[in-house]
Amino acid sequence: MVKVAIWGSLRSATDGAAVVEVEAKNFKEVLDALVRDYPGLEAQIERGVSMAIDGVIFKESWFAPVKPDSEVILMPLMAGG
Amino acid sequence: MALDQDQKRDFKIIGTRPLRPDGIDKVTGRAQYGADQSAPGMLWAKMLRSPHAHAKILSIDTSAADALPGVKAIITAADFGDMRKGEAMNVRDHIIAKDKALYDGHGVAAVAATSETVAKAALKLIKVDYEVLPHVTEIQAAMDPAAPVVNAGFVEENAPKGYSENVISAYDFGHGDLKAGFAKADKIVSRTLKTAATHQGYIEPHACLASLGADGRGELWCCTQGQFYIRELCASILGIEESQLRVTASEIGGGFGGKTTAFIEPVALALSRKAGHPVKMVLDREEVFKASGPTVSSEIDVKIGMTKDGRITAGEAELRYQGGAFPNMTNWLGAQCAFAAYDLEAVRANAINVLTNRPKQAAYRAPGAPMAIYAVEAVVDELCIEFGLDPLDVRLKNAARKGTKASYGPTFDDIGLVATLEAAKAHPHYNTPLGENQGRGLSCGFWFNFGGNTSVSMNINFDGTVSVTEGNPDIGGSRASISMMAAEELGIPYEKVRTIVADTNSIGQNDVTDGSRVTFAVGLATIKAARGAIKEMCKRAAQTWGIDEDAVVWEDGHAKPAGPNAGGFEPLSLAKIARKSPNTGGPISGHHEVNAEGAGVSFGVHLVDVEVDKETGFTKVLRYTVFQDAGKAIHPDYVEGQMQGGAVQGIGWALNEEYIYGEDGKLQNAGFLDYRVPVASDLPKIDTVILEIPNPGHPYGVRGVGETSIVPPLAAISNAVSHCIGVRMDELPMSPPRILKAIKNAGD
Amino acid sequence: MTKQHVTASVNGDATEFLCDAGDTLLSVLRDDLNLTGAKEGCGSGDCGACSVTMNGRLVCSCLVLAVEAEGAEITTIEGMAEGEVLHPLQRKFIEHAALQCGICTPGILVAAKSLLEKNPNPTEVEVRYWLAGNLCRCTGYDKIINAVMDAAAEMRGA
């Protein structure tokens, strides 16, 4: 299980929880588990999310590993100019 | 892909200043930009644009225009097929209007003709029947529940309630107990700050030469920051296969984020297909201002609490961004960046996105960050004045550092903010006394920087020179930096390497040149490609000597036996191995494809001294110093160039640049006369101090540098002007009329 | 509409072209004479990217009608180097990294050359004001000023 931080406006889909725990070992498994356990998150995840894992921001790397003690922060899609 | 563990810190070429490879082409006029190519039988394209900010398009009659001799094709939105909802559809709908014109200048119909003159004449013959609708161009008016709906169907499930359908989403970030945090403060300041929309102001208007056959095979030449993304957009919009459309990026005359998407290419291709000829399409300057991608405009409410010894106890911000008639991601980027420079126990930033009858915003260097950080830094400055504290000391006291939980969530690793603040504090600029009517301001700056999909191929030519093929348009001198990294890794002179930017058929996928990603990601891929080539060259040497591959090492551009036990063989240079490569197995190359992660964040601090003429409201910038962490400066001239260029764009943004809309919803200042960008006589020298706190995610420690430098100028100059006139400025740009008004209001 | 016939000298070469009365010198240089070094940045004389000299005078070619070039001597960026030998200004621009995207570079070089012909020893302020009609969005002008001052010094034999 790993703790995932959920940003403010998404917490209506997690019963107000700022941090949820899911069973996952990589980026993709985190997203799949979030959608499964909190269906209200699906719309945002479909639109696109990034994830900071232990301080590094991943945009779409399905197999980026996640450890049980990893810091995982859900973020919206990120890009620059 | 995990962070790179194989780090190098001693360099022969990295950090030096060799001459750029495209220098001679660019100083002689030989370099080919978007509008510089022609083709036999070419037609010229022009777009008819809506004169209304918001109008139903009841009918379009092109019959008279069709009949004009020289007109070969006319298209409207009806010429495009159905598309899935998403960004590509939004791009198309922004370029050419469907049933409604959504902004002043929105494309309605496009003509291809044998000359520009005929095309322009044809536009006059197209009859469009509009039903003018009420419009909204400003944030508050657009949010009002009674506001006209600009573009229906974009409201997200978390959009705040109680507003019009133009308010489409809310994103908020932060942590901690705000109530408790504010309770600890000795003083709380709340302010609303506003910024106007600005334009990237690239000197080269959008231009392309498009050729698309009925069989779906096409060639596109265009000035772009990302030929692969243009290919993706055009293929999607035109219903053709990506492999059949070859996109070549011309030299680009500035982008800054504004050329990371499409404004003309799908139309030029569609006209070409319909007419059966190549089509050249070039925007004029008015069209660039009206119908490409300016920035958002913003209103930001900031509330910060501070103790009397300068500790920030809580920070809160509400950001309202409008980015035209389509959704953007700039709003949540702004919310994430707003407090990023600070180590806070309690912080929250919420961004809402508002649609208006304006063109669809595009990125402009660190999109969303300049205005958000402007607002926060202005209030921090106000609190410093309140308590009589040194602004740099307060920043140092509250600065984010390794181990800080960022305002947007993750915990920071090694970062350079404290180093840049300390460098600023020690610098002569900070310690020089000011004269009369002068003020000094400072601001921190921050940007994420990104990695992304990258492909590089490196070929070892038989003569011992090296060709590097990559896929990212060179907007700041990256070809030189990439050649330097290749030469450093291979151990050969810089002059032996040539790097080219290839078309979409000649190299694998590359994400757009944005997010300050090129020196980081393409550099990383180049280094890995070089390591691949080195491995192969060591193998060839091993075979030539009849020893194990493991017994060969690469040093100073040569394959060498690993130790005396491996054998007393003379080292083989890259050139020697290359010359014999036909004998030893064939051509040697290295390549690397990756979706690069681990781009390091970049912090900066800007110091500025200004003098304000209280009679005219004119602000003179006297002295400017940029401090920025580059991780590792591959080519210091180009790093300085990014720091100086971004700072000057920020100076323009702070003092003069703004989109001015009339009551009629039309853009009033769509030209360089009235959209006033900085000129040489406006400016002093821009001094630069490069800090190097290596990024653990790149083999040489590189951090992106291209964007951070536009972030601090807005607040630095606003704070300087505020100090100078003794009045807090809370709206940008601080043009002379606004400064005079602020002085007058304070006097009343 | 019958086209106008114009005879001029461009970069020292005798040149003839046909144009419409309303064509600008810029569009003729670029589209008919294939001299694409001068750029159209604004079409209204505000950015200087189209700078050329006409009878020794610095002009925005987007504001000059092509027919006005009759009998005139036009020099463009393409005439600045002599064969493979770059003008000192061109060399110094590369050395000082005084260009990033390079789109403004032809116009600035033509303008700077014109300045140094009139004033071989300008101050930094004089250079900045002379170049105020040439917009650059990439560099912040810093390295451009350095390059012009350094080229001026070299050309003075300093």
- Annotate B48-65 with DSSP letters as a single string: EE-SSSSEEEEEEE-HHH
CA distance C25 to B56: 40
What does the pLDDT read at residue B3?
A: 44
| DSSP-derived secondary structure letter, B636 | H
Residue B2 has a pLDDT of 37
Q: Is residue A81 part of a domain?
A: no
Residue that is last in its domain, among C79, C106, C122: C79
C97 and C149 inside one domain: yes
pLDDT attached to residue A79: 74
CATH 3.30.365.10 fits B416-445+600-748, yes or no: yes
Q: What angle do CA B534, B484, B480 make, to 5 degrees?
A: 135
C113 and C60: one domain?
Answer: no
Per residue in B509-523, pLDDT (tens digit) is 999 998 788 989 999
Q: How many domains does chain A have?
A: 1
B332/A76 Cβ within 8 A: yes
**Shortest Cα–Cα distance, B364 to chain A (Å):** 5
Q: How far is B331 from B350, CA to CA, in rounded Å?
A: 9
Convert the pLDDT of each residue in B450-485 to its tens digit.
Answer: 889 999 999 999 999 999 999 999 988 899 999 999
* Chain segment B165-203, per-residue pLDDT in tens: 999 999 999 999 999 999 999 999 999 999 999 999 999
Q: Is the peptide bond before B40 cis (omega within 30 degrees of 0)?
A: no
Q: Of B261, B262, B280, B283, which is closest to residue B272 (Cα–Cα)?
A: B280
The beta strands (E) that lie in B387-437 are given as none
Contacts of C80 in chain B (CB under 8 A): 28
Number of domains in chain C: 2
Q: Which CATH class for the B35-134+206-287 domain?
A: alpha beta
Q: Which residues contact B171 (CB under 8 A, 6 or more apart)?
A: A7, A8, A9, A76, B158, B331, B332, B335, B350, B351
| pLDDT tens column, B377-395 | 999 999 999 999 999 999 9
Which residue range(s) make up the domain with A67? 2-76
B23-31+451-596 and B35-134+206-287 agree in CATH topology: no
If asked whether residues C22 and C75 sit together in one domain, one would say: yes
Structural domain span for residue C57: 4-79
CA–CA separation, B75 vs B73, rounded Å?
A: 7
Domain boundary among C38, C58, C79: C79
Looking up residue C132, the CATH number of its domain turns out to be 1.10.150.120
Q: Are B436 and B467 in contact (CB under 8 A)?
A: no
pLDDT at B427: 98
Cβ distance of C39 and B35 shorter than 8 Å: yes
User: Mean pLDDT of all residues in chain B?
Assistant: 96
Structure tokens at A43: 């719309």
Encoded tokens for C85: 């030998």
Residue B715: predicted pLDDT = 97
Separation between Cα atoms, residue B743 and residue B36, nearest integer Å: 49
Tell if the CB–CB gap between C105 and B204 is shorter than 8 Å: no
Alpha-carbon separation of residue B428 from B607, B630, C7 (angstroms): 11, 21, 59
Q: State residue B108 phi and psi, 5-degree precision.
A: -120, -40
Q: How far apart are CA B569 and CA B556, in angstroms?
A: 16
B residues 329-358 closer than 8 Å to A (CB): 329, 332-333, 336, 348, 350
| Degrees, nearest 5: CA angle B448-B452-B458 | 125
Q: Which of B157, B365, B409 sits opposite A73 (nearest CB)?
A: B409
- Mean pLDDT over C68-76 rounds to 98
Residue B152: which of B83, B91, B202, B102 has the closest Cα?
A: B102
Rounded CA gap, B53 and B55, in Å?
7
Residue C40's CATH number: 3.10.20.30
In tens, the pLDDT along B57-78 reads 999 999 999 999 999 999 999 9
pLDDT at B543 over 50: yes
Q: What is the CATH number of domain B23-31+451-596?
A: 3.30.365.10
Query: With contact defined as beta carbons under 8 Å apart, do B674 and C134 qualify?
Result: no
Spatial CA neighbour of A59 closest among B691, C105, B450, B688 = B450
Checking if the pLDDT of B328 tops 70, the result is yes
The answer to whether the CB of B419 falls within 8 A of the CB of B629 is yes
pLDDT band at B1 (very low <50, low <70, confident <90, very high): very low
Say what the ipTM of the complex is. 0.98
Same domain, yes or no, for C75 and C99? no
SS (H, E, C) B661-685: ECCCCCECCCCCCCCCCCCHHHCCC
Same domain? C103 vs C51? no
> Which residue from B637, B605, B604 is spatially nearest to B703, judged by alpha carbons?
B604
Q: Note whether C touches A: 3 CB pairs or more under 8 A.
A: no
Q: How far apart are CA A21 and CA A14, in angstroms?
A: 11
Helix segments in B250-368, DSSP class H: 265-275, 285-291, 330-337
Q: What CA–CA distance (Å, rounded) separates B466 from B174? A: 49
The mean pLDDT value of chain C amounts to: 97
Secondary element (H or E) of residue B528: helix B523-545
* Res C78: pLDDT: 98
Higher pLDDT, B600 or C113: C113
Q: Report the residue of A59, A61, A66 to disrupt the B interface, i.e. the one with the largest count of B CBs within 10 Å.
A: A59
Q: Which of C47, C79, C111 is the last residue of a domain?
A: C79
Portion of chain B with pLDDT greater than 90, in percent: 93
Residue ranges per structural domain of chain B: 23-31+451-596, 35-134+206-287, 416-445+600-748
